[in-house]
Structure formats: structure tokens, C-alpha cells
Chain A
């Protein structure tokens, strides 16, 4: 229960990719009620520092465990896997084709008759692809002990990261299109 415990220990949850989000939300609120700096306004500097450190860690933990992409990455790191962010390669041609296609589709949104509906279609596709990969990741992380497990899971995470970035780009485009309406 100190700063060196894992996020799973901190939230009293089993170390697994499957997380009960309702329980996570509940634990998060309970923990913050206990350690948040607002509870220590009249305390000594020392307690306030400690409270800020713990509240910070709980916020980080919540953010990590809530998001499948960060949670998956964190689980692999706990298992000793070292990510090399410089190396983003995959030999999965289907995935690469899908990326190219989605990127082209995004570029063509502005030219569409109804840009918003075109963009919505793309965002739905991105979300579906991301969800499918989340399921794949769950399987890979669940199959304990299988050889090359971490490598395969890391590749899935890398693909999810690509879709996350595409999603962000789509959102930026949506914001730009809306601002142009004003």
C-alpha cells in the first residue's frame, strides 16, 4: 500500500487484463476520498506532500487501468517486457492495408458530399478495429505460458496504438470541420 506497490495492488484488483470497470471506479473514488489533498488542507506540510504523492499515483493508476491500451502495456511491463518505441514494424499486410485505406479515407472527407457522415463512418470503423484488437489482446495475455506471448501481445498493442492515433486525427478533423461551420 505504498508508492512501490503496483496499480493492481493499490486498487485491490487481481493482476489481469480483465478488469471490472465498475469496481475500478468505485475503488478509485474510495481511495481518493481517503488520500486526496482536500482531506489534508489543515495537516502538516509532510502529510500534505504525502497526500499529493498518493493522490497523484492513484490518478495515474486509474488512468492506466481504465484504458485497455495503457493497461495492456502496463501488464507487459510488469512482466518485464521492455518496449522499444523506435521500432514500429509489423509484417501483417492486412493491418497495413487497412491503415493506408483509413488514412486515405480521412484525407477525402472534406471532398465528400456530407463530410460529417463520411467522418462518422470512418470513426465507427476505427472504433470497431480497436475493439477487435482489444479482444485479441485479451486472448494473448490470457494464454499463460505460451511461447512468444509477450512479443505477440506487444505487436497487438502497437496496432492498437496506430488506431488510437488515427482516432485522434479523426477527432481533430471533426473539430476543424465544426469550427469552419461557425
Chain B
């Protein structure tokens, strides 16, 4: 691992220094990284000039891990140790995997907290770790292409990903050593790529059919603001399913039994995928397969037969399209443009059906494989602070309702789906029995009435409720969803003020200590210990705090603060800069806290001033946030 470069404390605070940022499309089949260079967003290629990195990781006993094409090439030969389509497993529990299991050629070992581990020659690995391997390769690719350390990335997720799947993705970023600026919904990213290109206004539908997931989002574009009106989808439907249908057809035609084994299945899937791709342009294609006994079969697959095989799958995408329109309160005719995203939208049948549904020809001018990464790169560039005057803003929604389990196994919705984020909602609950002193809360996500049909996100207990008669206690439960779509829940007993709050870590996600542990493991290989890492993290944080503060003070410090107030803040900042130069992470941490305490009133006044200015009709760009 290369040594991390750290600039002189004073040097890094230059306000207009370009911060290296990238957008990452962590896809089911392929992943990409893109960045804005000289004002142009483009995907970055590897040394061989390839932009797409197959999302495949091969674990070996001793020679280390392979990612990408090399891993993919070994998939048929070494199926158990070659993990593909891991995105389908992100944030999933053992039960979910069992349901998908018949199709997945891996060996699973159940782990603690109900999260499945994949058994490989390189040891048991979680889906988060597998994804982190893919991210590390993209990180290296970007840093080599851009010539420096990435300050931050935007990673895209399907809009329809639930809290557990989002959390798992963010954990993978962290594990790969990335500073994740934001999780961005894939259709929204695509809209950004198109929207900025055309400076368009109006309602757009983004139809995103990837390798393993389907999303539909309805957005309204207005003066640089991208407002998601609704989103719907299916996190287990994609191009892989087309391949599977074709593979089953080949098995039927060639008389290959269902229990053909991993090796045969892999070979069938690859042949099926090639056939599908060829049928984008050809009317028919020759399919060849070698059976396990060495005998061969060949046959011809026509576009017509292929369309018949895939029609039910394409049809399945139209239900979510209708729901998204209904939730947005519009009709298909109100949609002014339809954008196609994802490699699977190359299938002619998909284009025909979508054109038929929306009664207009869909747009596909930007490569549907690259458009998401490009949009993510544009957003990353803005979030990193490289375009302070840019007025683009994304207002996204949560895809699935969030709620709590109540009596009788029913889910009580607290935040309905398609609510704009960030958002917070509170609801009061009461005790069921006299003298009840504890209450267990079960957080679920989904739109079905029964808890058993929803996704379980977390369970926690509020204890030490003062004993009262049934129904007298007032337990206020607050759900807060941040701009990444991640949930945190807190509960408070209103009468006596007993508090309980949790970071919602999915039931089968990774705990912080597990991530620490994994980081430690990977650090051991890189010969860097946790202390060094902790120090570095605190230094990066201190730099961020100081940089943000200096920029703010330069902007309006003299206007908002009197000299005494200014002196207190300057003093705290000086002390932090001193600690930053040392090597004690604890001292830096305390320095950061001291600066935050000293400037808390200033920060609040500053925010209010900027709101007042915005409302007074001043131009918003007078206010610089970073």
C-alpha cells in the first residue's frame, strides 16, 4: 500500500483547490468508476483500456484475490471460489439467501447475526467484503488515473434498495478505505447525467434494468433541482434472470438434468448470456453446449423464442412502473422523457415494451452501462466542493415505508414510502400492562401489512420505564432518515424522560466492531496498525474541521462575530492545529470537540443568516458553505 500523502496544515486549506472525487457504479454484473476532469465527466479505463470491471471476485488459497476479467475467466473452472453478482446478497439474511439459493452456485456458511458468509478457498467472506474487493480495485484505478488520493466518492445503489442493503454498501466503501460522500440512487444519477447535458425541465421517467435489479423513478427537473417524485422496483429482477431463462431453455432442449452441478450451470449461464447479447442485433443465434459426459449439443435460438422466454420478466417491470406513476400522482402521458439505463435495456423487447407503456420512444444516447457512473461523478465533484457556484440539488425519497411492529404482528407505518429525505417522524406508543417497565421495539421496512411480509431492520428495547398503569406511559419513537436514506431510531418516555437510541444496524449487517476487525485484518497485510489508522482518521477529520471553519470565517466571520467571540474560536482552532501536528489521536479528538463547542453558536447564526438571505431574494451563491 502506498504511503498516504498529507500536505502541510496551512497548505491544504486553499479554498479553490481541486479535490479528487469519483463516482462509482457498483453493479451486479459490472462496476465502473468515473470522474470529472477538465469539466468533463468520463468513466476511467484500466491499463488495457477497459472501462467495465466485471463484478467478480475469485478467492484463492495462497496466491491472493483476483478481481474483474481474470476472475470472470476462471468462473467456469473454479465456480465455488469465484463470486459473481454479489450485489444480490448485499444486506440479505440467511433466509433470503436460501430463497435465492437454488440459483447460486456457492457454499454458504451461516454466521452470527444471521448474515450469510460464503465459503471460499481464501476463507469465509461476507458479501460486504467481496464488494469491498471490487471497490478497492476501482479506488486504485481512479487514484492512478487522477494522480492522487481520492478525497471522497459517491457510490450508487438501486433506488429500491432497503436500509439494510444501503448500510451494507456504505460498509463496503468504508472497508475499502473510501470516504463515502453520499449514496446516490442509480436512476437519480442517470437523470443527472442526462439533465445537465440538456438543461431540460419537466417530468422524466428513468427505467433502469441492470444485471440483477430493476428500478423505475419519476423525477421532476426544475431550475437545477432534481426532485424525485416516486420510485419503485424489484431488487431481485434483472438481466441475470433473462440468462437463466435461456439457460433453462438450453437444458430442456439438450436434455441436461436439473442437478447438473455448478460447473455445468456456469457454462450454461455464460452461453446463455452470449446468446442474449448476440440477439440484440441478430434474428437468431447458434447455441452450443458440452454436456457433463463430454457429448455436445447445438441448436438455434431465434429472437422470437427469446422474446417469448423473456416476456414474463419484462412484463414484471411494468407493475412497478404503474405504481411509480400512481404514487407520483401523474399519468404516463405526463412523462416528457423516458431514459433507459442498464445493460439489459439493450434487449429489443425491453425497448419495445417500455416505448409501448409510456407511448414514447425512450432515450438511450448515453451508453446505458456508463450513464450511472457519469452521473455519480458529477455529483461527487459537486459534493467535494469543486463547484461552489453550482446550483444543482438532488432531492431524493425513501423507496419503502418504515414502521414498527405493533400488537398482532402488524406493521404500523411511521414514514410512508416516497417521502423526501432527509426526514423525521415521531409517533407515540403506550404500555399494554400495568407496571410494565420495558418495551421492545421492532423496526421494519416494507409496504405490506404483516410484519412477517416486511423486512426486519432491527430490534431494540427501551428499559427503565417508570411503572405506571397500562396506557399511562407515553413512549415517543422518532425515526430519522438522513440524506443517504439511512435510518436511525430513538425512543423517549415522555413522562419521566427515559431515553434510548440506536443506530439501526440491520439484523444481518455488520456491527462496528466487526468492521473494525475486518479493517484490522486487512491492515495486517498492509503492515499498518490500527493506531496509525486512527491517528490518520483524526488528522483527516481535523483538517476537514479547520478547513470548513477557515472558509466560513473568511466568508462572514467579521460580519457575524464580535472580536471577543472571534478570539475564542480562533484560539480553539489554534489549539486544534497544534494537536493536529502531534501524534496523539485522543488529543486531536478533544481539539475537534473544543472547536465545535466554541463555534456552535456561530454555526447556528451563520445558518440562520444564510436562510434569511435566501428568503430575502438574495442570490443563493452569495452564501458559500465550504
Contacts and interface: CB of A to CB of B under 8 A. Distances in A.
A39 B552 CA distance: 13
A59 B421 CA distance: 7
Contacts of A63: 419-420
Interface in A161-182: 171, 174-175, 178-179, 182
B326 A36 contact: no
B480 A31 contact: no
Contacts of A27: 615
B603 interface: yes
A42 to B, nearest CB: 5
Interface residues of A, number: 40
A30 interface: yes
A175 B326 contact: yes
A2 B604 CA distance: 9
Interface string A39-75: 1111111110011101110011011000000000000
A52 B420 CA distance: 12
A29 B603 contact: no
A178 B318 CA distance: 10
B614 interface: yes
Nearest to A60: B423
B548 A31 contact: no
B538 to A, nearest CB: 13
A40 B393 CA distance: 12
A8 to B, nearest CB: 12
A56 B182 contact: no
B465 interface: no
Contact of B607 (A35, A60, A62): A35
Given A29-B223, A31-B614, A46 B383 contact: no
Interface in B601-626: 603-604, 607-608, 610-615, 620, 623, 625-626
Interface in B308-364: 315-316, 318-319, 322-323, 326
Contacts of B181: 41
A40 B388 CA distance: 11
Kindly name the residue among A37, A44, A63 whose own CB sees the greatest number of chain B CB atoms within 10 A: A44
Contacts of B419: 59, 63
Contacts of A45: 596
B620 A33 contact: yes
Contacts of B544: 42, 44
Contacts of A178: 319, 322
A138 interface: no
A33 B544 CA distance: 22
Contacts of B315: 182
A59 B422 contact: yes
Contacts of A51: 607
Contact of B611 (A31, A47, A174, A182): A31
A56 B326 contact: no
A42 B385 contact: yes
Given A42-B384, A46-B600, A32 B326 contact: no
Kindly name the residue among B181, B322, B422, B610 whose own CB sees the greatest number of chain A CB atoms within 10 A: B422
Nearest to B21: A41
A58 to B, nearest CB: 9
Contact of A30 (B383, B421, B614): B614
B140 interface: no
B422 A43 contact: no
A26 to B, nearest CB: 9
Nearest to A54: B607
Kindly name the residue among A1, A40, A46, A62 whose own CB sees the greatest number of chain B CB atoms within 10 A: A46
Interface of B: 152, 181-182, 222-223, 225, 315-316, 318-319, 322-323, 326, 382-385, 391, 393-395, 419-424, 480, 482-483, 544-545, 547-549, 595-596, 599-600, 603-604, 607-608, 610-615, 620, 623, 625-626
Given A33-B614, A54-B611, 14 more contacts: A1-B611, A31-B615, A34-B610, A34-B613, A40-B625, A41-B152, A42-B384, A44-B599, A45-B596, A47-B607, A55-B483, A59-B422, A63-B419, A182-B316
3 residue pairs, one from A and one from B, having the closest CB atoms: A37-B483, A34-B614, A39-B625
